A and B are shown apart, each in its own frame.
Chain A
Amino acid sequence: MSDSPPPAVSPPVETRLVYAHGLAALITLLISVTFGVLASIELLAPDLATAHGAWLSWGRLRYDHTQGIMLGWLGNAFFAFLYHAVPLLTGRSVTSARLGQWMFGLWNFAVVAPGWVLVLAGFSQPLEWAEFPLVIDVFVVLALVLAIVQFLPPFFSRGLEDLYVSSWYVIGGLVFTLLAYPMGNFVPELVPGARGAAFSGLWIHDAIGLFVTPLALAIIYFVIPAATRRPIFSHFLSMLGFWLLFFLYPLNGTHHYIFSVIPMSAQLGAITASTLLGVDVVIVVANLLLSLRGAGWFPRDVALRFVSTGTVFYLIVSIQGSVQAQMSVNQSVHFSDWVVGHSHLAMLGFASFAAAGGLIHAWQRIPTARYNPRMLDWSYWLLFAGVIVMVSDLTIAGLVEARLWQTTQPWIESVRAAKPYWLIRTLSVVPIGAGFVTFLIGLTTGDRGGGLGAVKASIGLEPIQEIAPVFTVSTAPESAAEPS
């Protein structure tokens, strides 16, 4: 059926780049979490760092937290995954290992590290998901261009026929991030006030919808068949989900400014798109869960377990998103901790679980990488518990705040009422932080090349030498995707 059958031997994966981006992801993750924890502690003890001056002030920590999570942790984890997955998806190597080294340096030492320092030093822009200063944005755009040069040519030289859905998400994610990034980071500097806010709203959602979600889904769609050694349930549903997602996600943006002065028809359009997006996610997740059937809710392969739990979080967070875009709900919970809970469910529950699963999956297949299955098992359960505590806590806090805002009580009452919830949120970092530390330990200790052994032990199969055929798309289902 296919013109160019996948080669019998997979092209070399640039394992050093997987490894480098993986380690960078882990380190930036821990730093970003530290920023978040410090910010959350400062809500409980606001004068804790006052004596240390402006550098540790809440606003600056808050900026660094989200930028670090999105660019440092998720960005690096996505790149690590792409270095693993693109050769397997296309049967071709990425453009250039040398380019990869430049990209690595650019991303970590021209974007993330200086971005953090500049924000702490007081150079930033007050735009959500775009807090690094403009000078850093230039390097981000450059790095995104390089990422396209690095990862997309293998897809095009392979030919776009019968692309597996992960490939679509990779192509879509990289191209649309490059298009959307300047819109959120540059346009509001040039277009003032309400008009700028309209663009800003688009980016707030596109950062999640066009960067984080497609690449996280690419990982999920990749890891599930690779780990279960069964093809995805339905390629038709995969592609339906993909196109609906890329149609609907960009149309969501204005739901961040419901009841604002932005024209009501734009708001209503965004609300409609948000509602339909929930439907789309039900399709996507149904397809993924059906692909997982038999694997159990908590598969033994920890990479698969992270990914499948991330899938369930994705369903929950998307339905929550559809609900909170409705005017009646938005009217009360908007501006409250409900939304903070929602974004943590998205970035920590969904995206980070997917990224962690993808990273572990790639790690298992690096022959020289250390791998400690017990630690990773701990990591999973700690993070799982932490996410649930944190998100439920913030959701309830949001409802309490929303209720108080509807009364005539002084504003400070809502702050006072939120404090116990903020304490629990800060405490939830104990499992979450421990989860991420054990994650780091799990990928840096243990036997070298122990990953495949762990996979073998967990699913009772021989180590997987060859996984590329799983991703072959065929119109004849019975011949599809049997591992050779």
Chain B
Amino acid sequence: MKRALRMSYLVAGVAGIGFFVMSVLLLGVWPGRVLEQQIRGMSPDHPLRLTASEQRGRTIYAREGCAYCHTQQVRYVPNDVARFGAASLAWETIFDYPHLWGTRRIGPDLSREGAVRSADWQLSHLYSPRGLVADSVMPAFPWLFDGAPDRPRQEAQDLLAYLETLGRNRALAGPEGEARARAACNCSDDEKQLAFGSPALNASPSIARGQGGYPKLSESGDPNRGQQLYSSNCAGCHGLRGEGDGPGAAGLHPRPANLSEHDYTLDRLGSSLWNGSAGTAMPAWRDLPIEDLSALAQVVRGFHQAQPEPALPQDVLDLGSRVYAAHCAQCHGENGAGDGSAAGQFPIAPTNFRAQRPSLAASLRALRNGVEGTPMAPWTSQLSEAELSAAAYFVRGFFQGGN
């Protein structure tokens, strides 16, 4: 009896260890094998590894606890997919030692962050998050910089490099990679839809889409709502009075648009708000409802004070026209629509003067100084003062009216 009792505790002890081993086998080892198979079937042949700099950036991301507010897994849930894009596949994190999946989201998921924001935005945001996003609670990391957002130290550059890898491999896999993964995916139709069905790999509304359709905004909007949206979402860069001098503006190249110096058509604003401006830090705001975007557009148009337009002598206009045709039309287009033959080469679209009219001062300044961060160069060495003024006047004539 006594011996049997002793044995029973031995059995119990072995069973206890057995429970633990079973849990590790069932929830650790076995899923690992399934995942390995999945990865083998679905991964592209040569996913990019991290470079030394990106790897160092990853270490910074890990040590600063980024993963404790930003997940790196888009779950197989419609809301996740709607916000962040295609659900994560197992192979996307194969180089993560250790993984950075995270279990809490104070900020958005970063699985595909690489494509979401411009480099200058990322650096400015790391330097001073509230400069760009007024209500952000993200810690600032000024110690990664030499006193200014556009003077990153090696560490900030590494971190930026790492952020830009997020989602890179999935994007590089391309349609063939997606098709291959889809074929190899041993998953339900629902899961297939969530992993491969979304129109864009990244559903983030922040992505500047460059071109594409945009909805028509309405001429009216609730001014209070517009003002509130503007101050919490736009003022960080464009400044409270729209002068492009918000706290986040300093580190952005090109600088945020000075909204008070331009007359915009409603379509121009609709396009920028819906698609963002490719090549700049301006993201798309398409997760806001149309009424909100319309209200915002009204706020933006309100910044511009219409000046009395001087009537110009014909010879000035002729000179402007000649200068424009000779020097500007290749990029800005014969009709000022920003669609010149060279426009396609640039990462940033040339200004479409039919949709936006700069003030004379802004126009002249751009011609004299160029526009930093864009292909627009200073023209003072090529053009005389008279020619500069004439061209500055001339481009303003393309504008297609108040709406």
Contact = CB atoms under 8 A, between A and B. Distances in A.
B66 interface: yes
Interface string B42-74: 000000000000000000011111111001010
B31 A263 contact: yes
Given A195-B36, A202-B28, A58 B139 contact: yes
B19 A126 contact: no
Interface stretch (B105-113, B218-226, B390-398): B105-113
B141 interface: yes
Nearest to A257: B101
A261 B24 contact: no
B30 interface: yes
A194 B90 contact: yes
Interface string A1-21: 001000000000000000000
Nearest to A188: B98
Interface string B69-88: 00101011101101100011
Contact of B88 (A159, A189, A260, A336): A260
A253 B25 CA distance: 12
Contacts of B135: 412, 415-416, 419
Interface string B32-45: 10111011000000
Nearest to A59: B65
Given A47-B130, A261-B89, A410-B233, A189 B98 contact: yes
A57 interface: yes
Contacts, number: 234
A160 B106 CA distance: 49
B104 to A, nearest CB: 6
B103 interface: yes
A44 B12 CA distance: 51
Nearest to A259: B75
Contacts of A371: none
A422 to B, nearest CB: 8
B98 A125 contact: yes
A270 interface: yes
Interface stretch (A176-184, A344-352, A440-448, A451-459): A176-184
B83 A192 contact: no
Interface string A294-323: 000000000000000000000000000000
Given A42-B139, A331-B77, A183 B101 contact: no
B346 interface: no
B205 interface: yes
The range of chain A's interface size is 35 or more
Given A251-B26, A266-B26, A261 B19 contact: no
Contacts of A47: 130, 140
A188 B68 contact: no
B96 to A, nearest CB: 5
Nearest to B60: A122
A484 interface: no
B6 A161 contact: yes
A3 B12 CA distance: 20
Interface in B256-291: 285, 287-289
Interface string A49-65: 01001100111101100
A123 interface: yes
B216 interface: no
Interface in A338-380: 339-340
A261 B27 contact: no
B100 interface: yes
A339 B103 contact: yes
Contact of A254 (B31, B106, B140): B31
Given A251-B27, A260-B76, A261-B35, A126 B62 contact: yes
Interface string B4-25: 0110010010011101101110
Contacts of A259: 75-77, 80
Contacts of A190: 97
Interface centre among A123, A127, A339 (most CB of B within 10 A): A127
A417 B92 CA distance: 32
Interface in A121-172: 122-128, 159-161, 163, 172
B94 interface: yes
Interface string B115-130: 0000000000000011
A251 B93 CA distance: 24
Main secondary structure, interface of A, reads helix
A417 to B, nearest CB: 10
Contacts of A418: 106
Interface in A370-427: 405-406, 408-412, 415-416, 418-419
Given A62-B68, A123-B63, A197 B27 contact: no
A62 B65 contact: yes
Interface residues of B, number: 81
A189 B99 CA distance: 8
B383 interface: no
A256 interface: yes
Contact of B9 (A161, A199, A334, A336): A161
Contacts of B98: 125-127, 188-189, 192, 196, 200
Interface in B334-374: none
A43 interface: yes
Residue among A3, A266, A416, A419 facing the most chain B CB atoms (10 A cut-off): A266
A193 interface: yes
Contacts of B15: 243
Given A246-B16, A261-B88, A408-B287, A59 B76 contact: no
A335 interface: yes
B347 to A, nearest CB: 26
A273 to B, nearest CB: 9
A72 interface: no
A250 interface: yes
Contacts of B76: 259-261
B325 interface: no
Interface in A57-102: 57-60, 62-63
A46 B34 contact: no
B385 to A, nearest CB: 46
B75 A46 contact: no
A191 interface: yes
Contact of B63 (A46, A59, A196, A340): A59
A483 interface: no
Residue from the set A47, A194, A410 with the largest chain B CB neighbour count within 10 Å = A194
A266 B30 contact: yes
B378 interface: no
A201 interface: yes
Contacts of A53: 143
Contact of B130 (A44, A46, A57): A46
Given A46-B130, A335-B105, A415-B135, A198 B73 contact: no
Contact of B2 (A3, A59, A179): A3
A247 interface: yes
Nearest to A209: B23
Query: Which 5 A-B residue pairs are closest in the complex by CB-CB distance?
Result: A59-B65, A193-B93, A250-B23, A188-B98, A259-B75
Given A198-B27, A250-B19, A419-B137, 17 more contacts: A43-B106, A50-B142, A59-B63, A126-B66, A160-B6, A180-B20, A183-B24, A193-B91, A194-B93, A198-B32, A199-B28, A246-B20, A259-B76, A340-B104, A406-B79, A411-B108, A412-B133
Interface of A: 3, 42-44, 46-47, 50, 53-54, 57-60, 62-63, 122-128, 159-161, 163, 172, 175-176, 179-180, 183, 187-202, 204, 210, 243, 246-247, 250-251, 253-254, 256-263, 266, 269-270, 331-332, 334-336, 339-340, 405-406, 408-412, 415-416, 418-419
